[in-house]
């Protein structure tokens, strides 16, 4: 009789299938909420836009450093244009010497004094040899560098 009572009081250890399924469902719901809250697409777009802002300022700083070193003379290839969007006359060329219908800023990269290379838009360019960035100057010699392919409806440009 003692043996029978012993086996009746023994509990089986472990989780039931229902308990495991509930825990997995709760974890899945929490993971979904976190992914929605983080919004990876927006985070990626913000990262690309931050890179564009840095690149625009880098190009503009190099142009002005060149201008200071050359007695106020801008690179001759910067077009006189009021629009800095990506059009054939304002897009900056990324490869020295292959700049047909693009703005050749190789004077900034030739000696590696101002830039090692021209920055390229994080999503690439619409043309084969373009950088995705535009440059122009107005009648008063104010230079504008822009990133017309900015995401989330932003306008990224810098003028000096």
- Residues 6 or more apart whose CB falls under 8 angstroms from that of 154 comprise 49
Q: How far apart are CA 86 and CA 113, in angstroms?
A: 26
Ranges assigned E (strand) in the chain: 91-93, 130-137, 143-147, 156-159
Q: How far apart are CA 132 and CA 55, in angstroms?
A: 11
Q: In this structure, are residues 106 and 97 in contact, taking their beta carbons and an 8 Å threshold?
A: yes
- Dihedral pair phi/psi, residue 157, rounded to 5°: -155, 160
Domain boundaries defined on the chain: 43-159
Give the pLDDT confidence of 69-81 residue by residue, as tens digits: 999 999 999 998 7
Give the pLDDT confidence of 5-62 residue by residue, as tens digits: 555 556 678 889 999 999 999 999 999 898 888 898 899 999 999 999 999 999 999 9
Q: How far apart are CA 130 and CA 106, in angstroms?
A: 13
Q: Which residue would you say has higher pLDDT here, 44 or 3?
A: 44
Give the pLDDT confidence of 82-105 residue by residue, as tens digits: 677 666 568 899 876 678 888 999
Give the chain's length. 160
Give the pLDDT confidence of 105-140 residue by residue, as tens digits: 999 998 899 999 999 999 876 678 889 999 999 889
Strand order from edge to edge, sheet including 143-147? 91-93, 130-137, 143-147, 156-159
Interior/surface letters 105-136, b for 16+ CB within 10 angstroms, e for the rest: bebbbeeeebbeebbbbbeebebebbbbbbbb
Q: How high is the pLDDT of residue 88?
A: 58
pTM of the model: 0.78
Q: Half-sphere exposure of residue 127, counting CA atoms within 13 Å on the CB side?
A: 22
Q: How high is the pLDDT of residue 81?
A: 79
Residue 101, both tokens: 């219908």
Q: How high is the pLDDT of residue 11?
A: 66
């Amino acid at each position: 009789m003692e043996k029978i009572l012993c086996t009746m009081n023994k509990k089986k250890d472990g989780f039931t299938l229902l308990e495991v399924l509930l825990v997995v469902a709760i974890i899945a719901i929490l993971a979904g909420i976190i992914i929605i809250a983080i919004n990876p697409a927006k985070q990626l777009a913000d990262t690309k836009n931050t890179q564009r802002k840095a690149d625009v300022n880098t190009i503009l700083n190099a142009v002005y450093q060149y201008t200071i070193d050359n007695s106020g003379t801008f690179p001759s290839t910067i077009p006189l244009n009021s629009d800095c969007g990506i059009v054939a006359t304002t897009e900056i060329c990324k490869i020295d010497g292959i700049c047909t219908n693009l703005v050749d800023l190789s004077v900034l990269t030739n000696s590696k004094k101002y830039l090692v290379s021209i920055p390229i838009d994080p999503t690439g360019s619409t043309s084969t040899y373009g950088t995705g960035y535009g440059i122009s100057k107005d009648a008063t010699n104010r230079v504008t560098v822009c990133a017309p392919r900015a995401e989330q409806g932003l306008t990224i440009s810098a003028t000096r």
